[in-house]
Structure 1
Amino acid sequence: MSLRVTFLGTGGAVPTTERAPSAVLCNREGDRLLFDCGEGAQRQMMRFGTGFTVDHVFVSHLHGDHVLGLPGLVQTMDFNDRDEPLAIHCPPNAKRHLHDLVHAAGHDPGFQVRINEVAPGTAALEADEYAVRAFETSHRTRSQGYVLAEEDRPGRFDRPKAEELGVPVGPKFGELHAGNPVELEDGTVVRPEQVVGPPRPGRRIVYTADTRPQERTVEVARDADLLIHDATFADDMADRARKTAHSTGREAAGIADRADAARLALIHISSRYAGDASAIEREAREAFPGECFVPGDGRTIDVPYPDAEDDADAAGDGDD
C-alpha cells in the first residue's frame, strides 16, 4: 500500500525562484490529499508531474501563502471538465472567506466545492483504513495542523502453524487472517489468535504548517513516521521566530526528538535562506538523531510501514 509525499511548495510567506509557498501533496494508494494550497500550486503540480486530481484540500489557516493557490487550482480543474466534488477542510470560522476566494472574480465552478469547517481534535476525513484529524497549532491567527493516521493492520499470518493445525491451503487462510474462526472437516475450530500475530501499526504523517513549537505537537506526533514541521528560521533569527510565531529548525528538531518521530521534514523556509538552507538543516540535525532534511520543491519521498524491515526479513526467510 503506497504512501507518497511530494513537497510542492516549501517556502515561507514570500515566494522565491527556488521555493514556492506552502503546498504538500500526499498520495495514499490513489487518494490525493493536498495540505495547504499556496500561490502557484497548480503550476507546481504541472512542473512535478503530480496532476490535478486532488480529492481533498486541508487548509491550516487563512494567511495568503497557504490559500492563494485555491482560485487558480479550482479554475484549472473546471477548465479540465472536472465533475467530481472537491472537499476543502479548514479551521472554524474560515468557510465564508474560503468560499469568497474560490469564487474570486465571479467564477462559479462547474463542479461541487464543499467547504468543511473542522474543529481541532476532530476528524476532517474518515476513509477506509485511514483518517485525517485536525489539531490546534500556535500561530498569529487561528490555525491547525493535520494528522494522517492509518488503522492498524492485521498481524502476520503464521502459515506453518496453520498447516500444523490442519488448516488446508486456500480460502480458510484468508478467513483466519481476516479475524474469523474456521471449522475443519473433523469439526475442529481454529481461532485467528492461534495463527495470527498481534496487530501491526499503520503509518502516521503529521503536518503542522506555521506554528511555534508546542507540547500538543509532541503528543500528536508520537512515533510518527514523518513529521512535517515549520522551520522558517535558523538560530540566528530565533527572536524573529518568536515574534512571528514560527519555529527554528532546532526547535522543530526538539519536537521531533521528544515525539520519537522517525523522520523530520523542515519546511516553510524563509526567503532569507532561499539559496542556502544548510544552516537550518545542520542545526536541526544537532538536536534530532533521526532522519532530518530540508526538502526542495518537487522532492518526493515514500513513507514505508514502521515494520517494513521486519517484513523484508520475513520475506527473505521464506526464500531460504
Structure 2
Amino acid sequence: MTLSATFLGTSGAVPTVERNPSALHLRREGDAFLFDAGEGTQRQMMRYGTGFDVDAVFLTHVHGDHVLGLPGLVQTWDFNDRDRPLDVYTPRGTGDQIRDLVTAVGATPSFRLDVHEVAAGETVLDREAYGIETFRTEHRTRSVGYALVEDDRKGRFDRERAEELGVPVGPKFSKLHAGTPVELDDGTVVEPEQVVGDPRPGRTVVYTGDTRPIDAVATAAAGADLLVHDATFADDDAERARQTAHSTAGEAGRLAREAGVERLALTHISSRYGGNVGALKADAAAEHDGETLLAHDGLTIDVPYR
C-alpha cells in the first residue's frame, strides 16, 4: 500500500528561487491530499508530477504563504471540468476568510466546495483503514496540525501452523485471518490466535505547519514514521524563532527524538539562509537519533511499513 509525501513548497514566508511557499502533497494508494497551498502550488504540482486528483485540502492556518495558491488551484480545477466535490479544512474561526479568498475574483466554482472549520483533537477524515486527525500547534494565529494515522493491520497468518493443525487450504484460512474460529471435519475448533500473529502497526505521517515545539506536537508525533516539522531558523536564531512563534531545526530534532520519530523532515526554511542550509540539518541531526532530512522542493519520501 503506497504512502508517499511530495514537498511542493519548503520556504518560509518569503519564497526563494529554489523554494516555493508551503505545500505538501500526500498520496495513500488512490487517495491524494494537499496540506497547505502557498502561492504557485498548482505549478509545482505540474512540475513534480503529483497529478491534480486531490480529494481534500488541509490548511494549518490562514497566513498568505500557506493559502494564496488555493484560488488559482480551484480555478484550474474548474477550467478542467472537475465535478467531484472538494473539502477544504481550516482552523476554527477562519472559514469565512477561506470562502472569501476562493471567490475573491468574483467567480464561484462549478463544483461543490465545502469549507470545514476544525479544532485540535478531532478526526476530520475517517476512511477505511486510516484517518486524518488534528492536533494543537502554537503559532501567531489560529492554527492546527494534521496527522494521517493508519489502523493496525492484521497479524501475519501462519500457513504452516494452520496446515499442521489440519486446516484445509481454502476459505477456512481467510476466516481465521479475519478473526473467526473454524471447525474441522473431526470437530476440532481452531482459534484465530493459534495461527495469526499480533496486529502490526500501520503508518503515521505528521505535518505541523508553523509552530513552536510544544508538547501537543510531540504527543501527536509519538512513534510517527514521518514527521514534517517547522524548522524556520538555525539554532543561533533561537530568539527570533520564539518571537515569531516558529521552531529552530535543533528544537525540531529534539522533539523528534523525544517522540520516537522514525524520520524527520525539516521544512519552512527561512530565506535568510539562501543556499547555506547545512547548519539547519546539522542542528537537527545533533538532536535526533533517527534519519533527518532537509526537505527541498520536489523531494518525494516513500513511507514503508516498519
**TM-score scaled by length of structure 2:** 0.98
- The DSSP-based 3-state class of the residue aligned with 2:173 is helix
* One-letter amino acid matched to 1:181: P
Aligned length in residues: 306
- The DSSP-based 3-state class of the residue aligned with 1:44 is helix
Separation in structure 2 between the aligned mates of residue 78 and residue 209 of structure 1, nearest angstrom: 27
Residue 188 of structure 1 and its aligned partner are, at CA, apart by: 2.0
Residue 271 of structure 1 and its aligned partner are, at CA, apart by: 0.6
Residue 186 of structure 1 and its aligned partner are, at CA, apart by: 2.2
1:178 is matched with 178
| 1:71-128 Cα distance to aligned partner (Å, 9 max, x none) | 0010001111100011101110111111111112011101011111111101110011
- The DSSP-based 3-state class of the residue aligned with 1:104 is coil
1:281 is matched with 281
* One-letter amino acid matched to 1:204: T
Alignment of 1:28 with 2:28, yes or no, is yes
Does the 8 A contact of 1:82 with 1:111 survive in 2?
yes
2:50 is matched with 50
1:192 is matched with 192
1:141 is matched with 141
**TM-score scaled by length of structure 1:** 0.94
Does the 8 A contact of 1:120 with 1:136 survive in 2?
yes
Separation in structure 2 between the aligned mates of residue 148 and residue 30 of structure 1, nearest angstrom: 15
2:226 is matched with 226
Question: 5+ residue gaps in structure 1?
Answer: 307-320
- After TM superposition, the structure 1 = structure 2 runs for residues 49-128 of structure 1, keeping only pairs within 5 Å, are 49-128=49-128
Separation in structure 2 between the aligned mates of residue 278 and residue 195 of structure 1, nearest angstrom: 50
- The DSSP-based 3-state class of the residue aligned with 2:286 is helix
| 1:161-185 Cα distance to aligned partner (Å, 9 max, x none) | 1001111112211111111122222
- The DSSP-based 3-state class of the residue aligned with 1:99 is helix
Tell me which stretches of 4 or more aligned residues in structure 1 moved more than 4 Å: none
- The DSSP-based 3-state class of the residue aligned with 1:236 is helix
Separation in structure 2 between the aligned mates of residue 270 and residue 48 of structure 1, nearest angstrom: 22
1:155 is matched with 155
- The DSSP-based 3-state class of the residue aligned with 2:33 is strand
1:8 is matched with 8
Residue 36 of structure 1 and its aligned partner are, at CA, apart by: 0.6
Residue 191 of structure 1 and its aligned partner are, at CA, apart by: 1.3
RMSD of aligned Cα (Å)? 0.8
1:37 is matched with 37
Alignment of 1:247 with 2:247, yes or no, is yes
Residue 228 of structure 1 and its aligned partner are, at CA, apart by: 0.5
Separation in structure 2 between the aligned mates of residue 170 and residue 41 of structure 1, nearest angstrom: 50
* One-letter amino acid matched to 2:239: D
- The DSSP-based 3-state class of the residue aligned with 1:76 is helix
Separation in structure 2 between the aligned mates of residue 164 and residue 49 of structure 1, nearest angstrom: 49
- The DSSP-based 3-state class of the residue aligned with 1:18 is coil
Separation in structure 2 between the aligned mates of residue 276 and residue 41 of structure 1, nearest angstrom: 24
Does the 8 A contact of 1:19 with 1:274 survive in 2?
no
1:18 is matched with 18
Separation in structure 1 between the aligned mates of residue 273 and residue 35 of structure 2, nearest angstrom: 23
- The DSSP-based 3-state class of the residue aligned with 1:106 is coil
- The DSSP-based 3-state class of the residue aligned with 2:105 is helix
Separation in structure 2 between the aligned mates of residue 276 and residue 191 of structure 1, nearest angstrom: 60
- The DSSP-based 3-state class of the residue aligned with 1:287 is coil
Residue 276 of structure 1 and its aligned partner are, at CA, apart by: 2.2
Does the 8 A contact of 1:15 with 1:21 survive in 2?
yes
Residue 26 of structure 1 and its aligned partner are, at CA, apart by: 0.6
Question: What is the percentage of aligned positions where both structures have the same residue?
Answer: 61
| 1:41-97 Cα distance to aligned partner (Å, 9 max, x none) | 000000001111100111000000111010001000111110001110111011111
